[in-house]
């Protein structure tokens, strides 16, 4: 959200267009007046300007250009980070002589632009990864010692409410079947399971292609410490007492 990157074609298109200089942060006189010189923090992918979301045209262009990259039928959505200005570039405000009110205005404008991006993506049938519940990573998965408590927070009386969220859940390669079972037993309609947004083919598991069908009910517990959920090809079960999972497939 913070940076316009030379490496991205749609952003490069306006970064070097002199008629679009007002889209980006510039050095100021300390009173909020831009002096025409763009602020740049070059990085690995080349030039890195800063979007000025206080400018409506800049916000509109960013949202439309990002959404356009998701229009392929092979792309489900997109990912954003660095939403709170200046999240990873703390020296930027001082370098361009932004005062405290300027920074607050930028933060608010960035937050509004991010919300608009999410709403626009959802309306187009796409998603923004960062808008999902923050359960990404191995730390979000149940362990043998925490299994029953983790499952109960999402099952039984809590199951219906949990189905109203959208989540990403990390998997534990050392307890893969158990964490996969916990995902299948508790997952809401919109959910993703894997190693995180930065994972690549080295993390691929054959289990990702397992056909389990569709859920036919919600998570229940019984007997104590044993959690299950009916799926098309049978009940997925996680026995927290024994730390053993059963996942029927086609």
Token pair 């029927």: residue: 248
Q: Which residues contact 169 (CB under 8 A, 6 or more apart)?
A: 135, 136, 140, 141, 179, 182, 183, 187, 191, 192, 193
Q: Give the tens place of pLDDT for each residue, 106-133.
A: 999 999 999 999 999 999 999 888 777 6
Q: Give the tens place of pLDDT for each residue, 129-179.
A: 877 765 544 457 899 999 999 999 999 999 999 898 888 888 888 999 999
pTM, two decimal places = 0.70
């Amino acid at each position: 959200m913070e940076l316009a990157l030379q490496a991205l074609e749609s952003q490069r298109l306006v970064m070097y267009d002199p008629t679009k200089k007002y889209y980006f942060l510039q050095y100021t006189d300390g009173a909020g007046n831009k002096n025409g010189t763009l602020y740049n923090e070059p990085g690995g992918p080349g030039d890195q300007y800063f979007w000025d979301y206080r400018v409506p045209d800049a916000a509109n262009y960013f949202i439309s250009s990002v959404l356009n990259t998701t229009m392929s039928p092979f792309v489900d959505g997109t990912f954003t980070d660095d939403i709170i200005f200046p999240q990873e570039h703390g020296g930027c405000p001082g370098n361009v002589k932004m005062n405290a009110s300027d920074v607050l205005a930028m933060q608010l404008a960035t937050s509004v632009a991010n919300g608009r991006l999410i709403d626009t993506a959802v309306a187009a049938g796409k998603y923004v990864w960062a808008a999902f519940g923050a359960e990404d990573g191995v730390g979000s998965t149940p362990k043998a010692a925490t299994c029953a408590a983790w499952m109960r927070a999402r099952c039984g009386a809590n199951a219906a409410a949990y189905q109203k969220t959208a989540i990403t859940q990390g998997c534990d390669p050392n307890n893969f079947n158990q964490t996969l079972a916990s995902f299948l037993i508790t997952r809401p309609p919109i959910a993703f399971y894997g190693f995180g947004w930065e994972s690549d083919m080295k993390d691929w598991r054959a289990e990702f292609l397992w056909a389990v069908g569709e859920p036919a009910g919600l998570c229940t517990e019984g007997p104590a410490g044993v959690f299950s959920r009916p799926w098309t090809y049978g009940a997925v079960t996680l026995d927290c007492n024994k730390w053993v999972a059963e996942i029927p497939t086609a």
